[in-house]
Structure 1
């Protein structure tokens, strides 16, 4: 009897380590969305944490090698997720990503054949891209075919981990981000490039005010800062005349309902969008 109990506890411990470390992806191991999307069961940071890698996660939709902020219906692109550690040397990386319609949170477009070390799985009628094993590369790419015309704005949600590689959840550093992509109504929109600037929004989540910090060589361009809802409708719009290397602007969000929003910064030719939670 004691041997049976000991064996059960050993097996239970092994299963817990596999599930918590998600060495082969939370979708396959746990059968759940951990991207932090509106339909997710929770962010991977609820299990992983206390690490000191302080990573950032960047999402890009690539037309060849060019990042775009608008998609042409039915066109083939690449979803790129890049995890960068600000300190330390991680033992590996992992991720999970999905592309959803902003209106209905349904799957948007089709993820293609997965490269080595990655997979595409289906959960709740939605596709998810994720790692199959701990990766040494901090960049993940997956082919994606844009949805049909009339879909409207789509959102890419991704969560990532910079891990120490010991198989446990401690001392790992989770991170998440999202990207909004509008539907192109012309060829010009589909080739719109991302604004070459670093954009920070804080506090995030925000209660009353959100400060938008824009940093980069903007060549004294006039900038427009828009606050959008998840359907892509502009709720607030402000402009910056001849911005400096580092400029700031404040958005009033105290009257907005709780939820997800987008902060969009544009110089009229290039655009960059980051998420904001209320």
Structure 2
């Protein structure tokens, strides 16, 4: 079964590059600087950040939750990365809460990968810590590992609420955003961890924190027509190129970003009928 693979940077380089000072963060974010309270993810039946932060109604935005789960679905018991990101032109300080929900009651297990986030509610929720409030270039990123639930668990929905803090040391005027991601269970016959990705085309970008250029490393299982485009957070295409036919095997491509303004971007790689998306930050 041919499946497209959604690829994205783990963003560890981005997180390592972000300069954090918790005493400064706490002076800019009035409430919940050490994490949102349980049940504020914006999931159905739950509250979101507007219950504490006064301002406009929460805005729903796409693609603020991403993963490397293949389009064909998750493999039970396999570990994946969930990348949660936020952006707003008015601030560098963001909070979040993420949870997973399933009608079967089996949502998998979230695992921490860094000190910028923590788990609460018996591990059912991930939220920021005081060390994870400050981003850069009007964006912030958090990475959480997720162990997929047992076979037969079915569809899992991820929900997240975000607070873009305005820095007035109060609860008024902040901007609240909501985002979600739905993933299916891979129902391919005989699917298992041992054969994951053996038939997938793969792409990797490095570094994810870019100054003048970055490299795309790819591995094609079959001959493919390969192309790419770079888009900004609004979805506007900034640059693109058709690389033509590429033979099976490994290859790499250097993409110049010296002309980009600082901020969050997406690299969209296309090969035949497959598409992979990866985030990077131009500093």
TM-score (normalised: structure 2): 0.51
Partner of residue 92, structure 1: 93
SS at the partner of 1:45? helix
Partner of residue 25, structure 1: 35
| Equivalent of residue 173 in structure 1, options 172, 175, 181 | 175
Aligned ranges for residues 59-138 of structure 1 at < 5 Å? 59-62=65-68, 68-69=70-71, 70-85=73-88, 87-88=89-90, 90-101=91-102, 103-104=103-104, 106-122=105-121, 127-133=124-130, 135-137=133-135, 138=140
Q: Which one scores higher on RCO, CA 8 angstroms, separation ≥ 6?
A: 2
Partner of residue 152, structure 1: 154
CA distance in 2, matches of 1:188, 1:114: 23
Deviation string, structure 1 residues 229-261 (Cα, Å, up to 9, x no partner): xxxxxxxxxxxxxxxxxxxxxxxxxxxxxxxxx
CA distance in 1, matches of 2:96, 2:160: 7
Return closer, same or farther for 1:114/1:167 CA change in 2, 3 Å cut-off.
farther
CA distance in 2, matches of 1:33, 1:121: 10
CA distance in 1, matches of 2:201, 2:99: 22
Q: CA deviation at 1:143?
A: 1.2
Q: CA deviation at 1:50?
A: 3.0
SS at the partner of 1:98? strand
Deviation >6 Å, runs of 4+ = 214-217
Return closer, same or farther for 1:155/1:192 CA change in 2, 3 Å cut-off.
farther
SS at the partner of 1:116? coil
Q: Which runs of 5+ in 2 are unaligned?
A: 1-26, 203-228, 243-271, 278-283
Aligned ranges for residues 198-217 of structure 1 at < 5 Å? none
CA distance in 2, matches of 1:59, 1:50: 23
Aligned ranges for residues 43-54 of structure 1 at < 5 Å? 43-50=48-55
Return closer, same or farther for 1:21/1:192 CA change in 2, 3 Å cut-off.
farther
Q: CA deviation at 1:144?
A: 1.0
Q: CA deviation at 1:22?
A: 1.4
* Length, aligned pairs only: 176
SS at the partner of 1:112? strand
SS at the partner of 1:26? coil
CA distance in 2, matches of 1:189, 1:153: 23
Q: Which runs of 5+ in 1 are unaligned?
A: 1-16, 199-213, 220-266, 273-278
Partner of residue 7, structure 1: none
Q: CA deviation at 1:164?
A: 1.9
Give the superposed CA RMSD: 3.9
CA distance in 1, matches of 2:110, 2:199: 19
Return closer, same or farther for 1:178/1:81 CA change in 2, 3 Å cut-off.
same
